[in-house]
Amino acid sequence: MILLDTWQTPFGLAPFDKISDADFSPAMDRALEIALAGILEIAKSLETPTFENTIVAQEEVESELEQVASVFYTLAGCDSNLVREELQREFAPKISAYSSAVSSNKKLFERVEYLWTNRATLNLSLEQERVLMLTHRGFVRAGSQLQGKAADRMTQIKSRLASLGTNFTQNLLADERDWFLDLTDVDLLGLPDFVVATARAAGQEKGADGPIVTLSRSLIVPFLQFSDRRDLREIAYKAWTSRGANGGATDNRSAATETLKLRHEKATLLGFDCFADFKLATEMAKTPKRVRELLMEVWAPAKVHADNDAKILKKMMEKEGVKGPLKAWDWRYYAEKRRMVEHDLDEAELKPYLTLDQMITAAFDCAFRLFGLSFTEVSQPLYHTDARVWEVRRDGKHLALFIGDYFARSSKRSGAWCSALQSQRKKPNVRSPIVINVCNFAKPIHGEVALLSFDDARTLFHEFGHALHQMLSDVTYSSVSGTSVARDFVELPSQLYEHWLEQPEVLQKFAIHAETGEAMPADLLKRMLGAATFDIGFQTVEYIASALVDLTFHQGPAPVDIMARQAEILSEIGMPEAIGMRHATPQFAHVFAGDGYSSAYYSYMWSEVMDADAFASFEDQGGAFDADRAQSLLDCILSKGGSQDAEQLYLAFRGRMPDASALLKNRGLS
């Protein structure tokens, strides 16, 4: 089975050109069989438990499973099809059953418990102590101490949650894939050339007769910004915000409700009052109270800002003779007009200076100046023709492979993310990381240059910050490498890296006009950076509203009517009428497609408190590219992964913990 082989390919990259969909099911079954047999062998061993024969051995026996799963789930997320969707549904309960078999194996847990109890006598390194703690804690939180009916029920809950998460993702992808709005030439009047080109390219990709609007953020957001057709903006906005809530087979509301119910039951089985208490116990925030305090501290000034902005936009609307209240499909349109007036800034003027290739090069150049990394594009078979791969070297030595998959397509789930096809480790055997960044930028018509908005460029830098966290990891065990850190710490490197995009010296060098080759004029650069916090009230309110709904949902039993409860929460905080949640419940994949950000969507803002403070340390010392600060960032955070507690890592880098003042200042809300 090719998926189980040791690949004799350059850098150990999966041989995507030799893998077919028919390979996955037998390979996954065999990998699960190998892993479970290995686990049972460890559990029944008569040898006295040691860190090597119990903890390290478990990582080793799961290597084939990790290899198969990493390839499959990369394809399922980036280039799905009906076969892969069916395989996802097939694999979800199987992988859950394997996980439950491991966590419920009493003999295995006894060995881990023995090591935990006797840890002071084992002469472990600091990293080994951390790995042991995380392993023991993981067993306990998975229900290893449960007995009888409680243990059986936990197994059932985990299996059902796995299936619900898979279904949620596929329903959302189906709604995004199947809907589009045909546009006539008349409908295109007033739209900037780049929006028209994107709409025509989307029509080609869908096989439509002409230009269309899809539910890809890279197309629908600029359409909402620039289209003079209020009726079409309303149609498009309502379609975008009703994903997962259209009734029928792809409706996610009942799945979200059942997910909340099962998570609450899981938490109570483990002795917690609610799922939020369970989830946050291992994060930096520790308690829902601390999370809510931070969110509300920022919510208050953000709402004032947004309310004032709404009054200005309403007057602009009335001046054009449009009667009635400002609606959610009006906000971006009038905000764009206001930005043009107040900052003399037109996105159509900006985009030719922000080409995809130049922004990729800018991200690479910053990594070279900060950490000495070099990037050489190489030719290797990948899973899609749009994906590209670079070898990453440091001090003349191979460090990692980096894959960039930047364009939206109907087979790719929405959003942007970073994952690892292979995570860094030194034991059981040395592995260099293979890291992938996935985005959903608008793909140009063949032969045209890909142009980004400033927000797109920020997303590129954000995801590359995650990639650096993976590539610069220098730990012994893969369970604590790279981004294997607390959820409310994982966004620190990514959000911190966004700051380098905003540096004038970076933009002066890489913001080059696609046609003329000229650098962005100083005046335009000044206006662009001066508008960095424009519409910040809207952006902050839509984000915090989603974070508060997520947190509140998980602080008690599941609501009977999830959408009614969402509306109540928004009413309680005074949500402005013309602003929608960034992610309404039926499309809130961060929270319901898996367990990663459940009760933890706040983590972007928690990390932002740190990233604003961390970048200030560069500015206070020698500037954005201060060598000492960069070395400290590498030594204290980027190379350490999760090998130490997150708070300890930040304290080592900064010497103190931050408060929200730097964040408020950074957002223009202080």
454-510: per-residue pLDDT in tens? Answer: 999 999 999 999 999 999 999 999 999 999 999 999 999 999 999 999 999 999 999
The listed CATH number (1.10.1060.10, 3.90.420.10, 1.10.1370.40, 2.60.40.10) that belongs to domain 352-517: 1.10.1370.40
The single-letter code of the amino acid at 197 is A
Cβ atoms of residues 642 and 485 within 8 Å: yes
Active site annotation includes 463: yes
Three-class secondary structure of residue 373 per DSSP = strand
User: pLDDT at position 446, please?
Assistant: 83
Q: Please state, in angstroms and rounded to a whole number, the distance separating the CA atoms of residues 396 and 123.
A: 35
> Catalytic one among 62, 127, 463, 542?
463
Helix axes 288-319, 536-553, angle to 10 degrees: 140
Cβ atoms of residues 77 and 413 within 8 Å: yes
- Reading the block at residue 669, the tokens are 């809300």
Q: Please state, in angstroms and rounded to a whole number, the distance separating the CA atoms of residues 484 and 28.
A: 24
Mean pLDDT, rounded, for 159-186: 95
Mean pLDDT, rounded, for 142-152: 96
The single-letter code of the amino acid at 550 is D
**Pseudo-torsion of CA 284, 287, 293, 294, nearest 10°?**
20
User: pLDDT at position 190, please?
Assistant: 87
Map tokens 């990394």 to a residue.
373
Three-class secondary structure of residue 446 per DSSP = coil
Map tokens 């509306």 to a residue.
567
Q: Please state, in angstroms and rounded to a whole number, the distance separating the CA atoms of residues 667 and 202.
A: 34
Q: Is the dihedral of CA 569, 278, 297, 454 positive or negative?
A: negative
Q: What are the residues whose beta carbons fall under 8 Å from the beta carbon of 272, sequence distance 6 or more?
A: 278, 281
User: pLDDT at position 366, please?
Assistant: 98
Q: Where are the domains of the chain?
A: 2-145, 180-243, 249-345+535-601, 352-517
Q: Please state, in angstroms and rounded to a whole number, the distance separating the CA atoms of residues 85 and 174.
A: 10
The listed CATH number (1.20.1250.20, 1.20.810.10, 1.20.1050.40, 1.10.10.10) that belongs to domain 2-145: 1.20.1050.40
Three-class secondary structure of residue 411 per DSSP = coil
* Strand partners of residue 392: 375, 400
Q: Do domains 249-345+535-601 and 352-517 have the same CATH topology?
A: yes
DSSP state of 188: G
For the stretch 293-304, what's the b/e string if a residue is b when 16 or more beta carbons lie within 10 angstroms of its beta carbon? Answer: ebbebbbebbbe
* Residue 670, pLDDT above cutoff 90: no
7-42: per-residue pLDDT in tens? Answer: 999 999 999 999 999 999 999 999 999 999 999 999
Q: Please state, in angstroms and rounded to a whole number, the distance separating the CA atoms of residues 251 and 440.
A: 23
Cβ atoms of residues 499 and 611 within 8 Å: yes
Helix axes 288-319, 603-621, angle to 10 degrees: 90
- pLDDT, the chain, mean: 96
CA distances for 323 relative to 306, 327, 583, 589, angstroms = 21, 11, 28, 36
Cβ atoms of residues 267 and 275 within 8 Å: yes
Helix axes 487-501, 603-621, angle to 10 degrees: 50
* Residue 132, pLDDT above cutoff 90: yes
424-468: per-residue pLDDT in tens? Answer: 999 988 999 999 999 999 999 888 999 999 999 999 999 999 999
Q: What is the CATH number of domain 249-345+535-601?
A: 1.10.1370.10
266-324: per-residue pLDDT in tens? Answer: 999 999 999 999 999 999 999 999 999 999 999 999 999 999 999 999 999 999 999 99
Mean pLDDT, rounded, for 253-277: 98
Helix (H) or strand (E) holding 556: none
User: pLDDT at position 361, please?
Assistant: 98
Q: Which of 358, 393, 330, 322 is nearest to 506 (CA)?
A: 358
User: pLDDT at position 1, please?
Assistant: 87
Q: Chain centroid to CA 167: how far?
A: 19
DSSP state of 56: I
38-80: per-residue pLDDT in tens? Answer: 999 999 999 999 999 999 999 999 999 999 999 999 999 999 9
Q: What is the pTM of this model?
A: 0.95
User: pLDDT at position 641, please?
Assistant: 97
* Residue 338, pLDDT above cutoff 90: yes
Q: In 15-125, which residue ranges form alpha helices assigned H by DSSP? A: 24-44, 57-61, 63-78, 82-103, 106-117
Helices and strands counted in the chain (H then E): 27, 7
CA distances for 291 relative to 421, 524, 583, angstroms = 32, 39, 19
Q: Please state, in angstroms and rounded to a whole number, the distance separating the CA atoms of residues 445 and 189.
A: 19
